Amino acid sequence: MSDSTEEVRSYTVRLELVDRPGELLRALNPISDRGGNLLSIFHERGNLTPRGHIPVEVDLEATPERFDVIVDALREEGINVIQAGAERYGEELTIVLIGHLVDTDLSDTLDRIEQRSGATVRDLSLSAPEDSDGESSARVRLAAQRGETQTVLDVVDEIATEKDLQVIEPLTAGDAP
């Protein structure tokens, strides 16, 4: 396949897989075989779709031309492609939340950030003291749509204020001295 001069972009593909050994690998092979670069895989084995299959979200990088080839190859392999969206997440940011994260329900905090901002939690690291009265901290890596970083940070600030949490935001371009 000839390399395109088009810019590599980030894409999200949502799949439904049958729950049997090897299905995830079978779904990933067409991506790597056609030049896609895997960024992350969210495999929800504990959940089932209405058809009784496992939902899987794959974030990848490819040129637009290669992405179309990848989606076609997935369908040709019999993989149920639920959504093959154009660029969904183009930026990542890492924030630190400090406060009574456990007492204020960290899962609820993260769910609300995702629902209200459209960002996705990519990674989480929680540090909690041994005594239950102490404050904890969480490093949260978020993926946001290109150009939406400030909107995500605004939502995080609103939720943190509601829950009396402190937010340490990343430096963004222009913030550096």
Tokens of 61: 């990088």
- In a domain, residue 121? The reply is yes
Residue 127: other Cβ atoms inside 10 A: 12
Q: Please determine, for residue 40, whether its predicted confidence score (pLDDT) is greater than 80.
A: yes
Q: Residue 141: its pLDDT value, please?
A: 84
Residue 58 has pLDDT above 80, yes or no: yes
Virtual torsion, Cα 22, 23, 27, 30, nearest 10 deg: 40
What is the domain-level CATH number for residue 114?
Answer: 3.30.70.2690
Domain enclosing residue 155, as ranges? 91-168
Asked which of 85, 111, 142 is the last residue of a domain, the reply is: 85
Confidence at residue 175, expressed as pLDDT on a 0 to 100 scale: 47
Mean pLDDT, residues 30-37: 94
Which pLDDT band holds residue 121 (cuts at 50, 70, 90)?
confident
Q: 136-144 and 120-127: which strand pairing?
A: antiparallel
Selection from 126, 114, 123, 113 nearest residue 163 by Cα: 113
Range from 51-65, 104-118, 129-143 carrying the lowest mean pLDDT: 129-143
Last residue of a domain, which of 54, 85, 116? 85
Question: H or E segment at 167?
Answer: strand 166-168
> Which residues are registered as beta bridge partners of 12?
59, 85
